[in-house]
A and B are shown apart, each in its own frame.
Chain A
Amino acid sequence: MKIIKNYTYWFLLLFFTVIGAWIIPFLVKKITVEPERYPFLYYSSVVKELCIIDYKDKEAPVREINGKAYTTIAQADSVLPLFKYRQLLSEGRMPDSINGVEITPQKIRAKSVVYRFSPSVISTPQPGLYIMYESMPKRVGLVSPGDVFRLKDVIEFIDIESNTVNLEKSELFRQALQKEGFQFPAQWVNGNMNPRKPYDEGYFVLDVKGQLFHLKMVNGRPFVRNTHVGSKVAVAWFDMLEVPDKRFYGFLYDQTGNIYIIGNESGKYDLLQLGIEPLNLKKDQLSILGNMLYWTITVTTEKGRDYYGLEMETLKRLSEYHVAKTHDLWEKSASWLFPFYLTFEDNSSDYLYPRLHKTGINGFIINIILALLLIAAPKRSTKRKIQSGIWVLVFGLPGILATLLVPVEK
């Protein structure tokens, strides 16, 4: 019992310290964290520059990144006709054309692209079952097919009502995949299962050899194409986006974080790279606001936020702007209170597990002070003081709380 007790003391100390290293920073963060304040930017098709938009700022609702300000709401709306087109239409001030391109509300809507990427899209548990809609439905709107499919080592369609494998359909799709050169098992399957989309393009599937295949169901028959994208880039991820004008299938990410669109024209699956810096797919967030002439891209990283204005046809970079991250009270406090702390959740993932965050060496100053205070305190043996001192030196605030809260063995 004595031996068990000795070991258990240290284990309890570790347990209290771990809970403290999680709960104390968690509470400090609750008290001190502030929202990230980044400006909203949009690429103006009129002045051809990224503009900072803040309609609460009555003196300059819109300001170019080079500083030129537009001081009235009317001026601001005019500078952003493709962003504020409904307002301009209601006021009868919408131009007929921009840069020689005819502008109509229908065209604006058809060419509009809204897209967001977060690392949690990749780092999330997948059920491994997918819904295959009919891509050429006879009536408007997508109808639930009544079955789902799994695609890993094999492709199997499961009839939902009977909960049994539809052997005939499964074999049909398996043969179609193998005929096109698909090598099982699949690494991942990506598509948009939401039926509220303008049309269906099925799924993009990465096979074991790194080849990307397009899979959908047309008139009840399998449609499988090797996009050959896997021969051009090392595919990491794909996000399907059924855009109204069917210009592209979605966004492809390669292993180095470059982003491409896969073209949906003449069945060639052409890649077109976005003119932005590579993303860290485990940490960075991205949003795209595209119109019929330009795309505005926002990338949020650990260092701040990068804004890009791209030309819509070529996706070449026209302008860029960086806003550095400001350290809020939480980050300042954490860097002094804890050299490191523990969390179990993270915005970049739907998975829970212990994550150790380093805040810097400043926190060790507090650790040293706390360790010295503990060593100077009476009522403890020299051996115990040294042991506890080392513990507090390493673990700091959670460590000292643990040494005070765990009853000392005799």
Chain B
Amino acid sequence: MYQSIIYKEWIKTGKLVILASVIFVGVIMYSFISVKQILRLNGSVNIWEAVIMKDLPLLSTLKWLPVLVAILLALAQFVPEMQNKRLKLTLHLPLPETLIMITMLGFGIAVLLFIYAVTYVVLLPGLGIWFAPEIVQLSFYASLPWFISGLLAYTLTTWICLEPVWRQRIINIAVSIACLSLFFVGTRSGGYNSFIPYLFGFTILSMLFPFYSVSRFKEGVQ
């Protein structure tokens, strides 16, 4: 049954997942080309000094991509469920509702984690060819909030999609935007270091939110 649910999720999101993967590959390649270009035009010494002294960002092209892909993935997964109240049928599958929801959410989070992890696995060692580990680490810390915000955006969008009442959806959207804005405050690279454990912990707990919406949906709240 789990495989069937996962297959159903793949049918809904497969094209988007492939497209998102292609976009991520493109952005990774662009990041490498961009870094190589600034090194070639300005010289390695100037760029290293700019990173050390002026906190020049190396991965800024990635900034909005994780959150954008996460929102689109959640929409692709859960908007069809809410059309004509198809979620009712899903919840009637011969499995506990909680497990059905966990499987659906788990699918989305696994896809995002896979894409994000592959991005880091390619990008960070790639930067390590030209830069010292300290600079690579700095880029990692600078970009980590953007990737965590992607995971949070996914759970919040799911929460919003599954909410049955439009008025409540708008309230949830406003609160979600305020919350996500915390991940994009302009500060020095590494400025989020002591905040990341809070953000990560909250992201994990926010996986409970969609269950609240589903519960309201089941109760027939209009």
Q: Report chain A residues within 8 Å CB of B214.
A: 1
Task: Report if A129-B134 is in contact (Cβ < 8 Å); known contacts: A8-B208, A11-B208, A350-B187.
Answer: yes
A115 contacts partner chain B, Cβ-Cβ < 8 Å = no
> A8's contact among B129, B138, B212, by CB below 8 Å, is which?
B212
| B212 adjacent to A127 (CB under 8 Å) | no
The answer for the CA separation of A354 and B195 in the assembled complex, in Å, is 8
- Within the assembled complex, what's the spacing in Å between the Cα atoms of A104 and B208? 73
Contacts A131-B49, A150-B134, A405-B171; A351 near B194 (Cβ below 8 A): yes
Q: Which residues in B have their C-beta under 8 angstroms from that of A351?
A: 187, 191-195
CB-based contact A344/B138 at 8 Å:
no
Q: Cβ of B10 < 8 Å from any Cβ of A?
A: no
* CB atoms of A353 and B195 under 8 A apart: yes
Q: Is B216's beta carbon under 8 Å from chain A?
A: yes
Segment of A15-23, A199-207, A233-241, A305-313 engaged in the interface with chain B: A15-23
The B-contacting residues of A in range 248-272, CB under 8 angstroms, are none
Q: How far is the CA of A144 from the CA of B53 in the complex (A)?
A: 13
Least CB separation from A9: chain B residue: B212
- Chain A interface extent, by class: 35 or more
B200 within 8 A of A: no
In Å, the complex CA distance between A353 and B141 comes to: 15
Q: In this assembly, does B61 line the interface, its C-beta being within 8 Å of a C-beta of chain A?
A: no
Q: Is B98 an interface residue (CB 8 A)?
A: yes
Contact, CB under 8 Å: B195 / A344: yes
> What are the residues of chain A within 8 A of B202 when measuring CB–CB?
15
User: Cβ of B93 < 8 Å from any Cβ of A?
Assistant: no
Contact A352 B141 (CB under 8 A): no
Decide yes or no whether B135 CB sits under 8 A from chain A. yes
The reply to whether A5 and B211 contact each other, CB–CB distance below 8 Å, is: yes
- B66 → A minimal CB distance (Å): 18
CB-based contact A407/B168 at 8 Å: yes
Number of B residues with CB within 8 Å of any CB on chain A: 49
Residues A127-152 near B (CB distance < 8 A): 127-131, 144, 146, 148, 150
Q: Complex Cα distance A194/B209, Å?
A: 49
- Tell me, yes or no, whether B33 is within 8 Å of chain A by CB: no
In the assembled complex, A345 has its CB within 8 A of some CB on chain B: yes
Report if A163 contacts B (CB, 8 A): yes
Q: Assess whether A12 is interfacial by the CB under 8 Å rule.
A: yes
Q: Taking the complex as formed, is B44 at the interface, i.e. its CB lies under 8 A from any CB of chain A? A: yes
In the assembled complex, the Cα of A158 lies from the Cα of B134 at a distance in Å of 11
A410 at the interface (CB under 8 A from B): yes
Closest chain-B Cβ to A138's Cβ sits at a distance in Å of 19
Q: What is the distance, in angstroms, from A46's C-beta to the closest C-beta of chain B?
A: 41
CB-CB under 8 A for A1 and B215, given A131-B49, A148-B48: yes
Query: B122-138 vs A: 1/0 string, CB under 8 Å?
Result: 00000001111011001
Contact status of A125 and B211, CB under 8 A, knowing A163-B129, A163-B130, A193-B52? no
- Is A124's beta carbon under 8 Å from chain B? yes
Knowing A1-B98, A1-B211, A4-B208, the reply to whether A350 touches B49 (Cβ < 8 A) is no
List chain A positions with a Cβ less than 8 A from chain B.
1-2, 4-5, 7-9, 11-12, 15-16, 19, 22-23, 124-131, 144, 146, 148, 150, 158, 160-161, 163, 193-194, 344-345, 350-354, 405, 407, 409-410
Q: Which 6 A-B pairs have the closest CB atoms?
A: A125-B190, A5-B215, A8-B212, A8-B208, A353-B195, A128-B134
Q: A1-B215, A193-B53, A351-B187 are in contact. List 17 more A-B contacts (CB 8 A).
A: A4-B208, A4-B211, A11-B208, A12-B212, A126-B190, A127-B135, A127-B189, A129-B52, A130-B52, A131-B52, A144-B49, A148-B48, A351-B194, A353-B198, A405-B171, A405-B175, A407-B221
